[in-house]
Structures are given as structure tokens and as C-alpha cells.
Amino acid sequence: MNRSLESELRFRVHEILAAKGIELPFPQRDLHIRSATGLEKLMAERRPPADANGSGGMESAPHPQGR
């Protein structure tokens, strides 16, 4: 198939899907949060309670032997 024809076909498919409100995902490593409403509360609910030292219930990894 001709490269310009392939490109035109892909652009046309994209235009039609976009007109219908359909987004095509693509590989990415970024996280886009459209709305942070309630996110802070959710994170607070999932956070482990702090111990007497205020460490937040997180345990540190053991240190390797000989260091």
C-alpha cells in the first residue's frame, strides 16, 4: 500500500473516532489525573497509622550483612 494512502487512512480513522468522542490510547509512562477531587481523602484512608515514633507504619528494608 502507498505510504501516503496509509497515512491518509490513519488520519481519517482518527478524525472519525475523535468526532465520536473515542480516544485511542498510546504507550506512555505519564499519569494524567483529570480531577483530584477526593484523591487526598482516599490517600489518607489508605495510609497506615503512625506508630509512637511517627514512622507512619512503614518499615525500612533490612541492611545487608557486612555494611
6-37 tens-digit pLDDT: 999 999 999 999 999 998 887 777 877 777 78
37-48 residues labelled b (16+ CB within 10 A) or e (exposed): eeeeeeeeeeee
Beta-carbon count within 10 A of 59 CB: 8
- The C-alpha cell 487512512 sits at 9
CA dist 26 and 13 (Å) reads 15
- Given a cut of 90, whether residue 58 has pLDDT beyond it is no
Evaluate whether 51 touches 45 at the Cβ level (below 8 Å). Answer: no
pLDDT interval class at 64 (50, 70, 90): low
> pTM above the 0.75 mark?
no
